[in-house]
């Protein structure tokens, strides 16, 4: 099953010409999961992958740059006559927040479920779970999220199964489902169980042990990196992270790949990536609309796929990354 993470908005509290406000779109098979929904998210989606019928939304915390695009998106879904139900999950206080902005999106033609999660609470979906991870930020409760796929059966040794008297075809499928066929038990012909993929997303946070533990051996850790190393004091004051601190978490957690996001407008991104790579080599700093493909581990490592804008596709020179004065400290 294909899986990719699209970086819809990679900026911090202030958008720039090249970085929108925080939002990530996870595509898993035919499902679409949205993590955070900053102002302008639906427009960012339209510009990149289109506005899909999101299946579920997870909000990390209630600073405006992480949720303010949500009411407009809900209304757009209504105007498109969406019928499929939608679930939104987030920290305690989510129901009050959504109640306060109800006047914006009004009555909806589809079912809307709003669920508040406790720390380390898991949402079970078909083939995987998404768990909340309490992080350290300047709000009462802020979460990261970890998606963990179910384990998969090992490979079937078809030649061995046939030699033991199992007829190729449907009986092979029964073995893979754990059934004994013609006296042959699955463990006789199946390889070791294979772990599913794992993605950890921090939201806004200072470096914390909870993220390190939850992200252990993840295929991908998406960690905020609001500041460069020379702004360590500012990061500590605002309970954000530097790129180097994100890399130290990735190294300790033994993840396969680190992606930096929530980048302040004062940085282009490349300098943060290089600071992080001094600690953790497998680091990227995606721009908006870049995506990371996540194959099953036995099929290769996660890899960054850069988005090509219309101008780039016509071989026009790309714009320079704007640099502003925003501190990105929300």
**In terms of residues, how long is the chain?**
330
Question: Residues 6 or more apart from 166 whose CB is under 8 A from it?
Answer: 172, 175, 181, 182, 184, 189
| CB of 168 closer than 8 Å to CB of 181 | no
Three-state DSSP at 19 gives coil
CA nearest to 206, candidates 180, 176, 227, 182 = 227
CA angle 199, 299, 126 (to 5 degrees): 45
Per the DSSP assignment, residues forming a β-bridge with 125 are 128
Q: Please list the active-site residues.
A: 65
Phi and psi at residue 241, to the nearest 5° = -125, 150
Look-up: residue for tokens 């066929």? 181
CB 5 within 8 A of CB 222: yes
Strand runs labelled E in 198-282? 198-201, 220-224, 258-261
Q: Residue 314 CB: number of other CB atoms within 10 A?
A: 8
């Amino acid at each position: 099953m294909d899986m990719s993470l699209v970086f819809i908005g990679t900026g911090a509290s202030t958008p720039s010409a090249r970085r929108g406000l925080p939002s990530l779109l996870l595509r898993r098979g035919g499902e679409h999961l949205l993590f955070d929904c900053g102002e302008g998210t639906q427009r960012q989606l339209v510009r990149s992958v289109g506005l899909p019928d999101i299946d579920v939304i997870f909000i990390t915390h209630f600073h405006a740059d992480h949720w303010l695009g949500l009411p407009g998106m809900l209304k757009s879904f209504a105007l498109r006559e969406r019928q499929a139900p939608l679930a939104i999950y987030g920290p305690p206080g989510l129901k009050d927040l959504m109640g306060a902005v109800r006047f914006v999106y009004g009555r909806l033609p589809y079912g809307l479920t709003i669920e508040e999660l406790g720390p380390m609470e898991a949402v079970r979906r078909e083939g995987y779970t998404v768990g909340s991870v309490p992080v350290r930020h300047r709000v009462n409760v802020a979460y990261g999220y970890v998606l963990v796929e179910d384990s998969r059966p090992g490979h079937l040794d078809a030649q061995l199964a046939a030699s033991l008297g199992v007829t190729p075809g449907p009986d092979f499928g029964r073995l893979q489902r754990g059934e004994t066929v013609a006296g042959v038990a699955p463990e006789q012909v199946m390889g070791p169980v294979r772990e599913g993929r794992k993605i950890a997303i921090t939201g806004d946070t200072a470096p914390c042990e909870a993220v390190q533990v939850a992200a252990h051996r993840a295929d991908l850790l998406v960690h905020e990196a609001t500041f460069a190393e020379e702004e360590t004091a500012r990061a500590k004051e605002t309970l954000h992270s530097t790129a180097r601190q994100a890399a130290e978490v990735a190294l300790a957690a033994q993840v396969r790949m680190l992606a930096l996001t929530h980048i302040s407008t004062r940085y282009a991104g490349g300098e943060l990536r290089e600071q992080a790579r001094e600690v953790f080599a497998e680091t990227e700093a995606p721009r908006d609309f870049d995506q990371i493909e996540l194959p099953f581990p036995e099929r290769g490592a996660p890899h960054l796929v850069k988005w090509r804008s219309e101008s780039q596709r016509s071989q026009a020179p790309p714009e320079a990354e704007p640099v502003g004065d925003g501190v990105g400290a929300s």
